[in-house]
A and B are shown apart, each in its own frame.
Chain A
């Protein structure tokens, strides 16, 4: 399934310039203006796909050896004390052992790749990311999603008009809440908040 998705990516039309994804060019040297997020409001689905493509291309690059994302020494200009504090806190935060790595850059990568999943919401122009490890259960997750999406859009509306679904390891669209939370966090790849009207056939839609 993953392989098929990968092939599709190769043929996908994107707004990114050549050299932003699969090439080996070090990202620092090229003056690659990453397409501004603010401008991508053509259509909602376009924006979602483009953002998704850009995020995916970043993940491809992160998985590749350091060449594509060669860290520039001393950039960004953040004190080493601050960087080392974050590595310390990421070690404390992760329950599972992130593989220790040599460069500060990939250590930082381990904290970000960990369990962040994309969250898309129907009608929202751009996606968000949440770290599933941060929540103890479904209720906290729901509250966080509500804070992230709903308060920004239609002040007043709440999440009950939407269904929170997710895409699991097999690529299937599932309703959030059926399995124990631990199991959910380990199988969830992407979250999608969809309008109730579209969520028919996904079982009992309580709340």
Chain B
């Protein structure tokens, strides 16, 4: 193949779908390395500290789409202290210097400042797509900069970010010449938006396919907007309260009926139950429905809607749907592939209306189920075994029993057998979260059967180091391992250190690893960053123990990741990199 001209080789490479394939061909020889890197259009950086932004930009100067992820997953649950890191600034600055052809930027769990958004808006003349997920550090002023300067903007997708509200003007910053919007999602913006500006923006965006509004948008405005978007495929409603004029709701139904392409619905917020029937005409065509932010609808309201959604593939609901409601889902939604049931009561031992019964019903009615996130207050081994046999196609299986270490509700036994069945039957399982009372045995099953597992989340589980060792030795494809409040210590941490080179990261908090263990790891594996974190009150303890030769003090939080960038220079003082 080296006899072919470069353009031909480049063309052949363009058929390689995945990043890992392209990474592989770049290792073959220097010629291929050059061809590959200059023709690479999309780069995915799973850990922003694994590589220096300048190096990425230097190697791939013609990149058009960049994806960067920052904080570890457990940051979602406040386990990572604020100011830990994950700053977008260096990435945007490096790209602004080195690849001005950038068109798309996607970031998750990163800290993005308004200044960075301003720089982004001004640096890339062909910029088209900005997706920010679970990010923080910016305000609506940063969005104003994006709206004002990105003349070719196609997508502005803000998912679950913490955005400071500085008023509604940002939406009005889209110039009249901006007619290219395909996707606009501002559901997480807390403040008001100017409905006139919104209506005009939608009116001049004929390509709009996805629109997710925030709570402030009224039913009236929604009806007016929908008249302009007959090709809309995905809609996030504004608030559907009961303070309305009935005419508004009739207009809404009329407008919705015209949206023949609409497949996915979300929003609802504090929807009053009396408003829901206005959505019914849409239900038969929906493939995706997210009602998980709507605590005001009870099981009866939910089932009345969902029973009309025969084509549903993806459903996100709150646990108020109850087991009975899930039985209705099971009998109505035969194409269901993804189900998420979130808790409406965040107490650890709070009440949840869903149990193992609901999940068993779903599994028997919806055999295509492949992705599950299920919060409940009890589970049994029998149920899990039944579920594993009914649905052998799980790719993602996340079960959260609200009370830590809760045993099988019928037998009081650990749930080892149940989860064992899941990993045994679903041979394609890539992501797993376990909960309830679990011994080392469940990890033996995971290590033995979950050969394709890439991400594992463990909390309050296991008896000894053996548990974690089973996983480290057995799960060859493991990329991310996150553990909290489990009795794994230095033996497990150091049991199979070569693994950490093939994994993206390891998180351990409130486990039994000691400072000594972490130091040994750091010295054995120089290509890893071993970050330990103690809370600010604990940092004085760290100082005192500095003179302690045994260094047997337990490390509160440990985050280990492979990197070519060396120790990062933006770490706060509560983070120590060994």
Q: Which residues in chain A, 72-92, are within 8 Å of chain B measured between CB atoms?
A: 72-83, 85-86, 88-90, 92
Report the Cα distance A36→B161, complex, angstroms: 38
Report the Cα distance A58→B345, complex, angstroms: 13
- Known contacts A76-B375, A76-B400, A89-B296; A105 and B346 CB within 8 A of each other: yes
Contact of A86 among B160, B295, B349, B409 (CB under 8 A): B295
Q: Which residues in chain B, 485-532, are within 8 Å of chain A measured between CB atoms?
A: none
B332 within 8 A of A: no
A134 within 8 A of B: yes
Chain A residues closer than 8 Å to B355, beta-carbon distance: 37-38
Chain B residues closer than 8 Å to A115, beta-carbon distance: none
The count of residues in chain B whose C-beta lies closer than 8 Å to any C-beta of chain A is 53
What are 12 A-B pairs at a CB distance below 8 A?
A: A36-B409, A37-B355, A37-B378, A73-B79, A80-B77, A89-B295, A89-B296, A90-B295, A93-B270, A108-B347, A134-B296, A147-B300
Q: Which residues in chain A, 143-181, are within 8 Å of chain B measured between CB atoms?
A: 144, 147-148, 152
A39 within 8 A of B: yes
Q: Chain B, 262-292, contact with A by CB distance < 8 Å: what is the 0/1 string?
A: 0000000110010000000000000000001
B162 within 8 A of A: yes
Contact: A75 with B459, CB < 8 Å? yes
Contact: A76 with B300, CB < 8 Å? no
B329 to chain A, nearest CB (A): 15
B70 within 8 A of A: no
Chain A residues closer than 8 Å to B215, beta-carbon distance: 88
Nearest-neighbor residue (CB-CB) of A131 within chain B: B298
Contact: A74 with B296, CB < 8 Å? no
Contact of A148 among B79, B300, B412 (CB under 8 A): B300
Chain B residues closer than 8 Å to A144, beta-carbon distance: 298, 300
Report the Cα distance A63→B469, complex, angstroms: 43
Chain A residues closer than 8 Å to B350, beta-carbon distance: 108, 112
Report the Cα distance A89→B295, complex, angstroms: 8
A27 within 8 A of B: yes
Contact: A34 with B347, CB < 8 Å? no
A-B complex: 5 closest residue pairs judged by Cβ atoms: A74-B77, A147-B300, A36-B409, A81-B160, A108-B346
B406 within 8 A of A: yes
Chain A residues closer than 8 Å to B324, beta-carbon distance: 152
Q: Chain B, 386-413, contact with A by CB distance < 8 Å: what is the 0/1 string?
A: 0000000000000010111111011010
Q: Chain A, 13-56, contact with B by CB distance < 8 Å: what is the 0/1 string?
A: 00000000000000110010110111100000000000000000
Chain A residues closer than 8 Å to B403, beta-carbon distance: 34
Nearest-neighbor residue (CB-CB) of A70 within chain B: B348
Chain A residues closer than 8 Å to B78, beta-carbon distance: 73-74, 80
Contact: B347 with A134, CB < 8 Å? no
Contact: A36 with B346, CB < 8 Å? no
Chain B residues closer than 8 Å to A147, beta-carbon distance: 298-300
B174 within 8 A of A: no
A195 within 8 A of B: no
Known pairs A79-B76, A79-B160; list 16 more (Cβ under 8 Å).
A31-B405, A34-B403, A37-B409, A38-B357, A38-B410, A73-B79, A75-B404, A77-B77, A79-B77, A82-B292, A82-B293, A82-B342, A89-B269, A93-B270, A93-B296, A111-B295
Chain A residues closer than 8 Å to B402, beta-carbon distance: 76
Q: Chain B, 336-349, contact with A by CB distance < 8 Å: what is the 0/1 string?
A: 00000011111111
A150 to chain B, nearest CB (A): 11
A205 to chain B, nearest CB (A): 25
B185 within 8 A of A: no
Contact: B410 with A36, CB < 8 Å? yes
Nearest-neighbor residue (CB-CB) of B241 within chain A: A92
- Known contacts A82-B293, A134-B273, A134-B298; A31 and B437 CB within 8 A of each other: yes
Report the Cα distance A39→B375, complex, angstroms: 20
A202 within 8 A of B: no
A109 within 8 A of B: yes
Q: Which residues in chain A, 126-141, are within 8 Å of chain B measured between CB atoms?
A: 129, 134, 136
Nearest-neighbor residue (CB-CB) of A69 within chain B: B347
Chain B residues closer than 8 Å to A90, beta-carbon distance: 295
Chain B residues closer than 8 Å to A9, beta-carbon distance: none
Chain A residues closer than 8 Å to B349, beta-carbon distance: 27, 34, 58, 69
Contact: B378 with A36, CB < 8 Å? yes
Report the Cα distance A92→B77, complex, angstroms: 24
Chain B residues closer than 8 Å to A39, beta-carbon distance: 409-410
A125 within 8 A of B: no
B574 within 8 A of A: no
A104 within 8 A of B: yes
Contact of B404 among A28, A69, A83, A108 (CB under 8 A): A28
Contact: A76 with B405, CB < 8 Å? no
Contact of B293 among A34, A38, A85, A93 (CB under 8 A): A85
Q: Which residues in chain A, 100-117, are within 8 Å of chain B measured between CB atoms?
A: 104-105, 108-109, 111-112
Contact: B296 with A76, CB < 8 Å? no
Nearest-neighbor residue (CB-CB) of A135 within chain B: B273
Chain B residues closer than 8 Å to A75, beta-carbon distance: 77, 348, 404, 459
Report the Cα distance A39→B380, complex, angstroms: 12
Contact: A78 with B77, CB < 8 Å? yes
